[in-house]
Structure 1
Amino acid sequence: MRKITHYYSLTPEWQYDLVKQLNTEVIDDKLIIVPDDIGKGFFYFSQVMDGISVVYADLTTKIPFKITRKKSENELFIFHFDLSEHINLIKINDIDYEIGAFNQLDLAIFDNQLESTFKPSVNERIIALRLLIDKKLLHDFIEKFQKKENIFNHTATTRKVFYHYGNIDSNSILLIKSLKNKSVNDLSYDSFIKGISLKVLGNFFNKFYYSKEKDTKLTEIENEFIEKTKNYLTNNLYGPFPSLIFL
């Protein structure tokens, strides 16, 4: 298994050690082409605005591959949106979670002070959008997040850090999928991915702050039929819409 380690920062320098380990190069401080011995595809980095950067991965590995993000002193939250064409594993706090477009859960949020490891499926296309956000922009979010039921971890310094595992909203799924059809060599690509990043982030916060929490829980039979409907639609993406009556 090929093992790579790196750290994140809001600025491009985090890529320099990564490309040495991959035995490749970074182009214009933005684009890293995956070398042939690992697979095909790329990583793309851009500074969206002050306090927000994006890392987008579109690649297919042909060998077992594990990339570990080491915790650092950079005060960041990482929003990981995963629309890969197969289930991948992401390890947070020594627990492996399944994540990807064909899994029920495709969003992970974690504190940069927690180490995480990403283990993609071999010979399957990986599509992942990661937003790196300065904690200074997220004071209100952090405060409200802590009031909800989420997973916390205490660091060696007794600081409380958290991570969350959930769903991407449907509009953001379409936005991220639009990146799949955009050439990374297109002159407008950088502006395009910045726009997508801000829209996806806006969708998340809109859902987080304004969605109404209902006390009514779904019954077991409702959950069963929702799952059957979702599986049918997922397995028949290229067929005609079956009608609401059928569903």
Structure 2
Amino acid sequence: MPDDDRWGLRRAESRRFPSPAALAADTGHAARLSVYLTDLLSPHDLTLTPGALDPVRGQSYGEMAAELLPSSPIDLLVLAYDVPDISPGRAVSTYLTHICPGQPMSFAVSDQGRAAAFTALSLIRTYAATHPRALLIAVEQADLPYDPGVPVTLPAAHAAIALHLDAAAAAALSSVTVLPDTSPSLDVLSGLEGLDATTVILGGGLAGYAEDVKADRVVLADPAQPMTGVWESLAGLDLAASGRVAVADYDPGLRYLCVAAFG
């Protein structure tokens, strides 16, 4: 962490994308994507859903994230996602480095379910002393052209959020916790109580605990957006008027309990 205790969240923004990616109109890409996914799925006895790529309905994380890049230079960019991209041949974080002011160091966090953005935020915090101007972009697209063979919760909409972090923060980032192998009924209330938050944002995995949370204000995130919902709610707050803010969610499949505290 930097010596300046003001480092944290300067602003948050969110955006939804009502249409498929521009890349979806490329019939050549659809044909290549069909071959690629078929080859990946066949060893697992899985197949593409008939007609799922005619046309392609998903979003490109490169296209989505590019809409949220800052106009001034940054030092670090971290992309967080869960649902696979419809453009698997692109190294998205490398592409974003190329087009982002400052050509920041970048990497991606995936395979963490709803915890992906929390894990990314924790990693950004560890880099803050040397890379203080940071950007977290979390993205989720709503189309999966095959049955993965295991229960999954797809988002209802293509959505992206951006957290801009630096030493001129509106709300200092005081802690980020990702706890594995947890039960919300045993762990979430005690964890939130210890933060003494004024405003608590609960993701869909914790909506049932809203009446038990001790805070001046409890905000329920959109449960139809498994990963970006809590951060969309954060982007909708007036940080200066919200006091200490805790953002919390639970991934029931992976049993991760996630809490981030600001202010």
| TM-score above 0.5, yes or no | no
| TM-score w.r.t. length of structure 1 | 0.29
| TM-score w.r.t. length of structure 2 | 0.28
Structure number having the greater strand percentage: 1
Larger RCO (CA within 8 A; separation ≥ 6): 2
